[in-house]
Amino acid sequence: DTGDDRDQMLVRQVQRGDPDAFEGLVRRHQAGVYNLVRSMVGPNADAEDLAQEVFARAHRSLGRFRGDSSFRTWLFAVAINLSRSYRMARDRRQGIWVDSGEGTEASVIDRHPDAADVERSYMRRQLIQQALGALPLELREAVVLRDVHGMDYREIADMLGVPIGTVESRIFRQRRRLRPMPGAPLGRGAEAER
């Protein structure tokens, strides 16, 4: 029983009217959705509210989910669309987003820093946050989905609604932009993928 099979079973149960089945989907995906939303909108209190809204929208739309993609891919697409809308509205109100320097994607990348290297790890996270914060949104989305959430190019292309070549190009461009950054764990395996 793979994760996708379990998701599909829970989706069918929700579509048949089982309210408890949706709770199972939330439990399975809440950390990933929260981390994705937070990496898209920055480290603020709104990330938790937005993650909840992702699940609310998913619940309302689940009747139309046909299973053309995995539930996770579909759910992450909902999260990305909501995050884009939030960022555009916020940017109109406040101007360009500036990374506050608090933990974002880097906290996902560096889950278990070595105790002896805490300061170096912290400094590397700061560099990663600054670099990701400076990326244009379409590059940021692709790199976060690939390098933080481990999604493959096809999933990312489906999620973003762009050709797979566009995803490859965006990831290549972001890796080239981040390459000068010392100690950056992003872009690992870039040479092996080419």
Instruction: Decide: 73 and 158 in contact? Cβ < 8 Å.
Output: yes
Which residue from 21, 141, 19 is spatially nearest to 81, judged by alpha carbons? 141
Instruction: Decide: 7 and 72 in contact? Cβ < 8 Å.
Output: yes
Which residue from 30, 38, 11, 27 is spatially nearest to 109, judged by alpha carbons? 38
Residue 104: pLDDT over 70: no
Q: What pLDDT digit, counting tens, does each position of 63-89 carry?
A: 888 888 889 999 999 999 898 888 877
pLDDT score recorded for residue 10: 93
Average pLDDT, the chain: 75
pLDDT score recorded for residue 191: 40
pLDDT score recorded for residue 19: 80
Whole-model pTM?
0.65
Angle at 93 between CA 92 and CA 97, to 5 degrees: 75
